[in-house]
Amino acid sequence: MSAHTSTHRIVLVCEATGGGVGKHVLDVAEHLPERGLDVLLVHGTRRTEPDFADRLSRHAAHGYRVAHVDVDRAPGPRDIVGVAQLRRAVRAFGGADVMHGHSAKGGALARLARWGCARRVFYTPHAFYAQAPTLSSAARRVYGLAEYGLAFATDRVIATSREELELARTLGIPARKLTVVENGIALRDDAELAHARAETRSSLGVTDRDLVVGFVGRLVPQKAPLLAVETFRRLRSAHPSARFVLAGDGPEAAAVSRALADTTMTPHVRWIQRSVGRDLMPGLDVLLVTSQYEGFPYVMLEALDAGCAIVTTSVGGARDCVIDGRNGEIVASPTGEALAHAVSGFLTRPDALRVARATSRVRARQFAIGRMVDRLVALYRGEDVGDSSETRNAA
């Protein structure tokens, strides 16, 4: 590895390129060069999402470099090849002051490839896979032990929410290695939002008087889209004039289609399979989050920026975004009945919805993308960033 210089070299590693992980990694890669850091983004090629590839194609304009590894999503023999490919890429880059792995596979590759390549290695889980409720207890223990073991090769584990931090502690990861840096997004001013809301609602075929409830996310078991359909069904029965939007695609699409048909909700739900959450969110009044587990979902931040009320299950990021009873509700019981009851509280009380929308807009200011990037840069430079929630709430 070449001699240390004043310019920090940062290597970002990810295998998953869809959803929040891909968005987060690209946001960071695009903003770090502005802060004087040299950046290499190394990504997996087998699950490269079109939106990710489109943004990645403009990497030179943002001032960062790109390399790739060829690995499968699940652990397997190809990981040996992936580690070798990553080491070659990092050495060609001149070595790394910090190699930062994202999500389970990216984090594992970064930590296995660190020796002789990186001075320090960071890891952001974006939701520990050990949280997945579909795992057997034995599998959960195995993944938990893997996270615990890999923590020995990790200088810093960066959680994206307090819930994720607390889970990391239960896995035995030392507190001295843990830090919270919440996700951040680019925020719109009031004029931009008003224009976006008018355009989006027009494209959805709804008026200013209509109340719109939406689910936005990948159609995967983690996000529980079938629970969203069940919640829509219950809301439709109590609020026949409400409008419903379901945005997303994925392996659960066929099951969602059947559920909409079985509940006779197909004519009443606008299903947009290809969408961008930031573009769609201004058209909603209430965002419904039905996830089983999360690190810190970007849809919540996009809902804050768009001035939506948020009704969510108790997942990572919920306590950061939702002031319970003010701009939304965190539902402890993840059932269609409980979620529909919480949403109804905003559909039946116009004043409560107005307060929620205004409160979300104010709350959004605490999650500006610049704050997230500044905290990461401070960590990369070895500075103490303090307690994230305290500095955020003081902002």
Could you tell me if residue 270 is inside a domain? Answer: yes
Q: What is the CATH number of the domain that holds 336?
A: 3.40.50.2000
Report residue 214 as tokens. 């939406």
- The DSSP element (H or E) to which 372 belongs, if any, is helix 369-380
Residue 142 belongs to a domain? yes
Cα dihedral value 266, 272, 274, 278, nearest 10: -150
- What is the domain range of residue 279? 190-366
Q: Based on the fold, state whether residues 170 and 231 are members of the same structural domain.
A: no
pLDDT at 4: 41
Would residue 2 count as lying in a domain? no
pLDDT at 388: 56
Q: Give the residues across from 65 on adjacent strands.
A: 40
**Are residues 149 and 234 located together in one domain of the fold?**
no
Please tell me the predicted confidence (pLDDT) of residue 377: 96
* pLDDT of 139: 80
Q: What is the DSSP string of 97-140?
A: EEEEEEHHHHHHHHHHT-TTTEEEEEEE-SS-GGG-TTS-HHHH
Distance spanning both ends of the chain, measured CA to CA: 40
Burial track 288-307 (b if 16+ CB lie within 10 A, e otherwise) = bbbbbbbbbbbbbbbbbbbb
Handedness of CA 46, 299, 269, 237 (dihedral sign): positive
Run of H or E including 190: helix 190-204
pLDDT beneath 70, residues of the chain: 1-7, 387-395
Q: Do 266 and 166 sit in the same domain of this protein?
A: no
> Do both 35 and 144 map to the same domain?
yes
Query: Are 198 and 76 within one domain?
Result: no
Q: Is 380 part of any domain?
A: yes
Pick the closest to residue 372 from 301, 318, 286 (CA basis). 301
Q: How far apart are CA 222 and CA 244, in angstroms?
A: 21
Q: In the block, which residue shows the tokens 């959004």?
A: 364
* Spacing of C-alpha 379 from chain mean position: 20
Question: Is the same domain home to 26 and 163?
Answer: yes
Nearest to 74 by CA among 175, 142, 25: 142
pLDDT at residue 378, rounded to an integer: 96
Residue 276: its pLDDT value, please?
Answer: 78
Q: Residue 1: what pLDDT?
A: 43
The reply to whether 170 and 205 lie within a common domain is no
Domains of the chain: total: 2
Domain membership of residue 112 (yes or no) is yes
4 part of a folded domain: no
Residue 391: its pLDDT value, please? 45
Q: Does 374 lie in the same domain as 354?
A: no
Whether 252 and 205 share a structural domain = yes
The residues that bridge with 245 in the sheet, in sequence order, are 214, 270
Number of other CB atoms surrounding residue 29 within 10 Å: 24
For 189, left (φ over 0), alpha (ψ -120 to 50), or beta? beta
Work out the angle at residue 143's Cα, subtended by the Cα atoms of residues 140 and 147, and round it to the nearest 5 degrees. Answer: 135
**129 shares its domain with 225:** no
Collapse the DSSP code of 290 into the 3-class scheme (helix H, G, I; strand E, B; otherwise coil) and give the result.
coil
Secondary structure letter of residue 283 according to DSSP = G
- E strands, 265-344, are 269-272, 286-289, 309-313, 328-331
Closest alpha carbon to 296 in 20, 25, 13: 20
Query: Which helix (H) or strand (E) is 389 found in, with range?
Result: helix 388-394
Residue 117 placed within a domain:
yes
145 and 227 part of one domain: no
302 lies in a domain?
yes
C-alpha span between 319 and 23 (Å, rounded) = 22
121, 211: one domain:
no
